[in-house]
Amino acid sequence: MQDFFKEKCGVSIGKYIRQRKLSRSATLLKLTSQSVTDIAFRMGFDSVQSYSREFKKTFGVNPNNYRKADFWDLRNLRPPYWLDCDEHYQFEICQLTSKEIFGFQTSHQIATNDLPKKASPIKWKIIHETLRTWGENVYCLSSFKPDNTKDQVIAVSSFFGMEHNSVDGGKIPMSRVIKCGKYAKFHFVGHKEQYQQFSNTIYMCILPKLNLIRREGEDIEYFHLASVQKQQSNESIVDLYYYIPVL
């Protein structure tokens, strides 16, 4: 069993567990308001000092500085063993110009016990319904931030929009601006189960391999209308470009 695991993951089971604990703690530092002390004990360390030492060995900075940084260095994160890190997606670095889009906002919370989180099935439904209703390509701007009232949940906000400000003659009152800047651009075509793991693969496997550092900003997904007409095993698939802000 030990040899099989090491062949699959490249490290022993013991080292994998330590790396996963530290990687999970790094995610909690960036996406929740949970205290360093609570995170240290939650991850099974006997003291904040021992946790901070091990964290710095892996990520080069102490937990407090990792949290305060206005960027997210994803290198040295250990992905879960079940995530397919051999998956390849079309990739390029690009510059986006600012653009106003019109649409509607949704918000929900993710419990930290659910991490790493699959894409919400509700989001999948919203995407397809919006593509059909609007009859044109759809943007989705998503942010993930610490919740102001609960320290063990992540606040997720998504804005679904299009380039025109009216539907069936009616004006859309809400708008957002896509911010200009440097982005890592990925192309994805696939069905629901593949889409639910897509962002995990990008963040945990591909960005670290490419030595890319995420800067502040929203993730941008650009869904193509044609995707609602495609079928694979009688299941709708999506065709999208995914933009992540990078330094």
Q: What are 2-48's pLDDT values in tens digits?
A: 666 566 666 678 788 899 999 999 999 999 999 999 999 999 999 99
pLDDT at residue 15 in the model: 83
| Residue range 57-83, pLDDT digits in tens | 999 999 999 999 999 999 889 888 777
Per residue in 80-97, pLDDT tens?
Answer: 877 777 778 889 999 999
- pLDDT at residue 127 above 80? yes
Quick one: tokens of 33?
A: 């308001």
When mean pLDDT is compared across 144-158, 178-192, 229-243, the lowest value belongs to: 229-243
Our separate counts of H helices and E strands in the chain read 8, 13
Q: What is the mean pLDDT of the chain?
A: 87
User: Which tokens is 156 given?
Assistant: 């997720």
Per-residue pLDDT at 207 = 92
Burial class (CB in 10 A: 0-12, 13-18, 19+), 169: exposed
- Give the residue ranges of DSSP H helices in 109-213: 121-134, 192-201, 207-209
Cis peptide before 116 (omega within 30 of 0): yes
Structural domains in the chain, sorted by start: 2-69 (1.10.10.60), 90-245 (3.20.80.10)
Judged against a pLDDT cut of 80, whether residue 170 lies above it is answered with: no
pLDDT attached to residue 172: 84
Those residues with Cβ within 8 angstroms of residue 122's Cβ, 6 or more apart along the chain or in another chain? 108
Q: Return the pLDDT at 152.
A: 86
pTM for the whole structure: 0.88
Whole-number pLDDT of residue 111 = 83
Do the beta carbons of residue 176 and residue 100 sit within 8 Å?
yes
Confidence label for 233 from pLDDT (cuts 50, 70 and 90): very low
pLDDT of residue 162: 93
- The candidate with the shortest Cα–Cα distance to 54, out of 68, 37, 40, 35, is 40
* Residue 234 reports pLDDT greater than 60: no
The secondary element (H helix, E strand) that includes residue 49 is helix 48-59
